[in-house]
Chains A and B, each alone.
Chain A
């Protein structure tokens, strides 16, 4: 009796509590995620984070030690054959027979997946057309360029329609044009309703292609969300203005008037060389600032909107995972009592965050962290009771993937 595919869930890939150890190295420590049908999930992480191990498990190349994983409704442990029928895997290496021609490779992969010879031949022809490899079809793959090899690699995986596609760093080492064609391919997959799990180190690739991104480091998921959500987490857009003359700063601050919030104004010290202020309206804020400063005839060297890129997200997230202790500083703005506003300084720069202490009178315990006016429900646990000043441990619980940053607690 043929096994039923996609029984109840709408998900192409389900990973639940998977754990994998290689000897003493924990490659994956309890990860869980889902990929919906037709969704592109980007798996982001530094080398050794566990991305390839995840893909290996989902493509039946590795068995998980614990946990449960399903691809296209087939369990990877109990029905690996079913998984193999449903997937296409492209690894970091191009894995086709480099002494056969492109056409021969395609026909072979087709026949291995059950196509009759004539069917395989015509599929090969279609794929060669689509991937623009007709001229090279009868040359051995060993003579192909890097981009062509990657294309034939992917083509071989598409002779029969997969339901889930695993792309493991597909554009590493490719020239921009080839990379572009791979990107187009991923959107083709999406349109065709094929789920894609994409691992990459290129942040702009994850940004451009993925519906959702999962950030993995040291075998755990440290962040999950859309690219925009992740960027928001690191801090919203702010506007940075650099005057030609540093002495103009106070004049600038005055000229900007209400555009420049109190905290930022207060943050200006004698040594500041620029003004950073929140740009809630994005370009509009910038235009307004420019207008005001122009009216005050203050010469500028630079004015720009800075938005944390996915790079910043990535670095911020992974560096925190590494126990980066220069995390946060909470300074009470009112000297008496922990209640009220505090300035939250992160890594030395001031992203203008506000800490409202929920329980007055006690510095220890939960505090609500309000950022730039929105409440992303973050918790600040103060390490040293009785003193709100100094460094505190910041735990962010915007969603259930609790990110922690361990800050050093000063005496």
Chain B
């Protein structure tokens, strides 16, 4: 395993020491055993990197919170009169998803920058699992989404949002946005890997803007024009909102969760291969 015997040099200068790779019998980089440690190291790197930019962090949290407060002020009364419940049961999950989706763009642009800087190539040349780079981005995003959801939940609690379905449901509530949030990030990352122009990625803002306004968390379904109602009902964010409404206020949980998972799995499946190919292309050169 070690090739120390082949080297006849006696120099052990500080730069080189005698450190060899931690070799083991199964030394291939792409073994399953390596995937988790490599991915977790790279995920930690991304989280640390995002955390070092407090301005962006603040802005990515302040915007949704401000939006939540505003929407609640503008629509809160009207909706609670209509539905008999606080509008927050719809708007808090909705804004949590907005926070998740608007942050995906930042990750996408960061990826593009790392591609230009050559960092992706550098990481590719290291003996790490080939999938770890991409998985780390998704893992870091999942962590980000949970964090954003938690902050928005706190804002909601201040405004009067309450959990009514018990501890288990409340904890599950916190993690529901991950499913579709990561799927959305996959779509954004795939887009980022195939374009050189950041504007294209920024255009993803339009997507979540539309999803936000045409969602059952914004105004109840029957308020929308008849021809729009099916679309509003079946769009993925509405399912997320309804699942979370069920977990906090009460109501059906299984059906919306299943539908949401179908949406997420569909997007993930569609993006998986192009994303992997695109990441490889972005790391290699020809």
A–B direct touch in complex (beta carbons closer than 8 A): yes
Residues in A lying within 8 Å of B, measured CB to CB = 2, 5-6, 20, 22, 38, 53, 56, 59-63, 81, 84-85, 87, 89, 91-100, 104, 108-109, 111-116, 119, 123, 126-127, 129-131, 140, 158-161, 163, 185, 188, 191-194
Taking the nearest CB of chain B, how far is it from the CB of A208, in angstroms?
A: 20
Q: Which residue from chain A places its CB closest to the CB of B40 in the assembled complex?
A: A111
Cα-based distance from A302 to B18 in the complex (angstroms) = 55
Residue in A61, A92, A100, A129 whose beta carbon sits within 8 Å of that of B124 in the complex: A61
Q: Is A192's CB under 8 angstroms from B16's CB?
A: yes
**B interface size (C-beta, 8 A):** 48
The answer to whether residues A62 and B22 also contact, given A95-B121, A129-B14, A163-B3 and a CB cut-off of 8 A, is: no
Taking the nearest CB of chain A, how far is it from the CB of B106, in angstroms?
A: 13
B77 CB–A CB distance under 8 Å: no
Q: Which residue from chain A places its CB closest to the CB of B38 in the assembled complex?
A: A112
Q: Which residue from chain A places its CB closest to the CB of B116 in the assembled complex?
A: A93
Q: Which 9 A-B pairs have the closest CB atoms?
A: A95-B122, A114-B22, A130-B14, A95-B118, A93-B118, A193-B9, A84-B127, A99-B49, A85-B127
A94 contacts across to B, CB distance below 8 A: 118
A92 contacts across to B, CB distance below 8 A: 118
Q: List 12 A-B contacts (CB under 8 A).
A: A60-B124, A81-B30, A98-B117, A99-B48, A108-B41, A109-B126, A114-B22, A126-B14, A126-B15, A159-B19, A188-B13, A191-B9
B38 contacts across to A, CB distance below 8 A: 112
B158 contacts across to A, CB distance below 8 A: none
Taking the nearest CB of chain A, how far is it from the CB of B35, in angstroms?
A: 13
B6 CB–A CB distance under 8 Å: yes
Q: Is A62's CB under 8 angstroms from B284's CB?
A: yes
Cα-based distance from A93 to B116 in the complex (angstroms) = 10
Cα-based distance from A126 to B14 in the complex (angstroms) = 6
Q: Is A130's CB under 8 angstroms from B13's CB?
A: yes
Residue in B16, B22, B27, B45 whose beta carbon sits within 8 Å of that of A161 in the complex: B16
Cα-based distance from A116 to B19 in the complex (angstroms) = 12
Q: Is A95's CB under 8 angstroms from B22's CB?
A: no
B59 CB–A CB distance under 8 Å: no
Q: Is B1's CB under 8 angstroms from A62's CB?
A: no
B41 contacts across to A, CB distance below 8 A: 108, 111-112
Q: Is B122's CB under 8 angstroms from A89's CB?
A: yes
Cα-based distance from A191 to B13 in the complex (angstroms) = 10
Q: Is A161's CB under 8 angstroms from B9's CB?
A: no
A interface: dominant SS: loop
B225 CB–A CB distance under 8 Å: no
Cα-based distance from A127 to B14 in the complex (angstroms) = 7
Cα-based distance from A99 to B49 in the complex (angstroms) = 6
Taking the nearest CB of chain B, how far is it from the CB of A222, in angstroms?
A: 23
- Which of A53, A59, A140, A163 has the most CB atoms of chain B within a 10 A radius of its CB? A59
Q: Which residue from chain B places its CB closest to the CB of A159 in the assembled complex?
A: B19
Residues in B lying within 8 Å of A, measured CB to CB = 1, 3, 6-9, 11, 13-23, 25, 27-30, 37-38, 41-42, 44-45, 48-49, 52-53, 117-119, 121-128, 283-286
Q: Is B127's CB under 8 angstroms from A113's CB?
A: yes
Q: Is A95's CB under 8 angstroms from B119's CB?
A: yes
Q: Is B126's CB under 8 angstroms from A191's CB?
A: no
Q: Which residue from chain B places its CB closest to the CB of A123 in the assembled complex?
A: B19
Q: Is A85's CB under 8 angstroms from B16's CB?
A: no
A109 contacts across to B, CB distance below 8 A: 126
B119 contacts across to A, CB distance below 8 A: 95-97
Residue in A61, A160, A161 whose beta carbon sits within 8 Å of that of B284 in the complex: A61
Q: Is A87's CB under 8 angstroms from B16's CB?
A: no
A85 contacts across to B, CB distance below 8 A: 21, 27, 29, 127
Q: Is B11's CB under 8 angstroms from A112's CB?
A: no
Q: Is A81's CB under 8 angstroms from B9's CB?
A: no
Q: Is B286's CB under 8 angstroms from A56's CB?
A: yes
Q: Which residue from chain B places its CB closest to the CB of A5 in the assembled complex?
A: B3
Q: Is A6's CB under 8 angstroms from B6's CB?
A: yes
Q: Is B19's CB under 8 angstroms from A81's CB?
A: no
A93 contacts across to B, CB distance below 8 A: 117-118
B121 contacts across to A, CB distance below 8 A: 61, 91, 95
Q: Is A112's CB under 8 angstroms from B22's CB?
A: no
Residue in B23, B29, B44, B122 whose beta carbon sits within 8 Å of that of A81 in the complex: B29
Taking the nearest CB of chain A, how far is it from the CB of B285, in angstroms?
A: 5
B49 contacts across to A, CB distance below 8 A: 97, 99-100
Q: Is A193's CB under 8 angstroms from B45's CB?
A: no
A60 contacts across to B, CB distance below 8 A: 124-125, 284
Cα-based distance from A127 to B17 in the complex (angstroms) = 9
B7 contacts across to A, CB distance below 8 A: 192-193
B123 contacts across to A, CB distance below 8 A: 112
Query: 19 extra interchain contacts, Cβ-Cβ under 8 A, other than A161-B16, A193-B9?
Result: A2-B27, A56-B285, A81-B127, A84-B29, A85-B127, A87-B125, A95-B117, A109-B126, A112-B123, A112-B127, A113-B21, A113-B126, A119-B19, A140-B52, A191-B9, A191-B13, A192-B9, A192-B11, A193-B7
